Amino acid sequence: MRRLSKNLAPRNLLALALGLGLGLAACGETDGGAGPALGDRLQAAQDQLDGGHLVEARSAFAAALESDPSSIDARLGLAESARLLGDDATAQRAFEEVLGLGADRDPLIAALDGLAEIRRAAGDQSGAGDLEAEADSLRGSPIGPLGGPTGR
């Protein structure tokens, strides 16, 4: 798929996180049984984002999140589309919520990288550097399904 920007590491991580989540969601998770599967909705939202339809993508991710408030993939998609639209407050809130949900390693890294980009854009180089260092430490450390280390 064609990406909006080849130099955005969080986009690659977002795609990976969404891919993992979509695979699980495709195993039968639906929106209350009366609508398309959450995985299908997330894929449609990701397609909008990949196609540069940022407003539509943001709306689709928000709707998916409304139907499943625990969806980390929907929250990451909302954060990334909001960030690309310049709505840093919404993006920051969604990225921070991912951190609080006990996500796996890749979504945590995507959220930290997204927050670092927001901080850097706001002129907070030190804060951005701290977030990037934390993301880098996670890149070298296996994290289990609930955000904790594996093997415990």
| Residue 50: CA count within 13 A, CB half-sphere | 13
Q: Which residue from 99, 110, 103, 100 is spatially nearest to 135, judged by alpha carbons?
A: 110
- Rounded to 5 degrees, φ, ψ at 137 are -65, -35
What is the C-alpha to C-alpha distance for residues 149 and 144, in angstroms, rounded to an integer? 5
Each residue of 87-121: pLDDT tens digit?
A: 999 999 999 999 999 778 999 999 999 999 999 99
pTM for this entry: 0.69
N-term to C-term CA, the chain? 37
Beta bridge partners of 112: none
With bands split at pLDDT 50, 70 and 90, how would you rate the model's confidence at 1?
very low
Q: Could you give all domains of the chain from N- to C-terminal order, each with its CATH number?
A: 9-139 (1.25.40.10)
Indicate the average pLDDT of the chain.
79
Residue type, 21: G
> What's the angle, vertex CA 3, arms to CA 47 and CA 29, rounded to 5?
35
What is the C-alpha to C-alpha distance for residues 42 and 80, in angstroms, rounded to an integer? 13
Quick count: other Cβ atoms within 10 Å of Cβ 97? 18
Each residue of 3-27: pLDDT tens digit?
A: 333 334 444 444 434 444 443 433 3
pLDDT on residue 143: 55
